[in-house]
Amino acid sequence: MAMVLFAAGLVALAVAFGLFATGHRKLPMWLTLSGLLLPIGLVLGVARTNRLSRRLDRSERSEG
């Protein structure tokens, strides 16, 4: 899920930069807001990785 959000945000950011580079100065609100998916996906991915790492670390300590 986090990777999908991150990828969607990355695409939105690329589209926004492309439109801005071609001279469009007033971007649609939905495009601006969809750019927020990038940091949301990044934060969710880091949190999920951290949680999995802690869970695996705990299971290794209990086995050994």
Quickly state the pLDDT bin for 64 (edges 50, 70, 90): low
Per cent of the chain over pLDDT 90 is 73
For the chain, the average pLDDT equals 91
- Mind giving me the DSSP string for 15-26? HHHHHHHTT--S
Q: Is the pLDDT of residue 3 over 80?
A: yes
- Could you report the per-residue pLDDT of 12-35, keeping only the tens digit for each? 999 999 999 999 989 999 998 999
The domain limits of the chain are 2-63
- Mind giving me the DSSP string for 4-58? HHHHHHHHHHHHHHHHHHTT--S--HHHHHHTTHHHHHHHHHHHHHHHHHHHHHH
